[in-house]
Structure 1
Amino acid sequence: MIAIEHLRHVDAAPARAARERYRAGSVAPTSGVAPGFTQANMIVLPRDWAFDFLLYAQRNPKACPVLDVSDPGSHATLLAPGADLRTDLPLYRIWREGKLAEETADARAAWAEHPDLVSFLIGCSFTFETPMAEAGIEIRHITDGSNVPMYLTDRPCRPAGRLHGNLVVSMRPIAPGRVADAATISGRFPAVHGAPVHIGAPDEIGIADLGKPDFGDAVRIEPGEVPVFWACGVTPQAAVMASGVPFAITHAPGHMFITDIPDSAYHA
């Protein structure tokens, strides 16, 4: 894999330091943390559900671009040698029968319930925020120190096996003169959601109120700014809820796994 090859030439100390903080118990959204290193969403499922999800991701690549898949029972990833997926994210969600049962900073106890768990790491739009910011495009949730707003849309994903659900999107308000630039820059990163899926008119995708996100925090939108929407890696959590998945572990929205892979590895 091209991403793994990049590990040979990269000093990933900032990414490792961030993971060590989270392993020690620090809890905070990861947007803007260890800039330049790829971040990933995560969903962990019993082996019996893993093929269904792999097919779901293949059918919905914009929302679920898979970066790595673990062996059953493993809590390691080639994207960050030495990392532990049970402890190295800042905040986890434990799901039972499609309902959120718990949020925790340490998933080891829940992980131990199933010996055959398969972990999926999925591209995250935080990855292209750094090049957008370097181009002078403000990332409002970073400016204001909040989590990115995420919304459940009325757009159904393609079902697969027992999994179904609607698309989740993240939103960033962009100055009208920079919308095309934001689309162009993010479009260069297809492995981490790529270009926007919708621009403006939130009601056209079933979002009634931008001030009430389904996940994350509402952000300030200045007069004239355009809401721009990207496919979001929280989409698997919407599928967990809609499909009544018996057991799953995910990242908490906005609290990602920071890999040792540089963003440039996923630049098309």
Structure 2
Amino acid sequence: MTFETHPARRLWAGIEPLHALVYFAPEVAEGAKAIGLKGWFMGYFAGRAAPLGAVGPEAVTAMFFGFAPDRVQRALPDAWAFAPPEKVLATQLETVDRALERALPPGSEADQERLVTLLEHAVGNCDFGGRPLAAAWSAVRLPDDASARLRLWRAATVLREHRGDGHVLACVDHGLDGLHAAITHAATGLTPGQRVQTTRGWTEAQWERALVDLIGRGILDSAGDLTDTGTALRTSVEEATNRLASAPLRALGEYAVEEAVNLAVPLARYIMDTDAVPVPNPVGIVRP
């Protein structure tokens, strides 16, 4: 089994577009602006971090692995002066619900209901040790009359942040800081390096210094491509990420995991085929 075919990776490929709609939906960006947040990135950092409370830039830089500290500091803690975390979170949930209503395929309600049942069971069996973002999102309570699509988004969000927190742990364990992780991720070809540099807020000088360091370590060649050593490193990181994301899958069992993948993938494909989540994208999501 390669890391791409591991069940944890396949499930992530199916549910990541469901979560990632929040980053591309105009409804969400407009909602953040309406409550006073200044610019897309302030809305991004505040919206994703809101379940943590009025957290500062140092903690968010550590958790949102791969972003330049300066980019985070331009958004936080200033965002909380415009809108407190509770208001940011409530607005995001309301707007992402509307975005999902628009973006999910018509007639898929029964599949959404079954998928959310499976994913919520997986969420209930997550181990949140060392996973602050996933733990915070798991504590978000939805209204009793929340739609199945919003419940689905929340469950997908907890599972992707659970995987993401584990991915940060894997990168650190393999000697990659946030910038090195971003560069080597781009070098896999999943997302353009220039787009990663720009969206993550790294300067040309910072990016170039990190490239030189990675070339010196034998991880990249002089053209900026992964060497055999670099490929092995990234493979090992992804294998560790899959292992760390496997506890919720064990709770589901093999058959239910396959059912969840089979339900999620058509939803994800529809979202991407209609450009609700564009390809390529800085997250590195590909059509499952």
Q: TM-score, normalised by structure 1?
A: 0.29
Give the greater-gyration-radius structure (CA): 2
> Counting helix residues as a fraction of each chain, which structure ranks higher?
2
Q: Which has the higher contact order (CA 8 A, sep 6+)?
A: 1
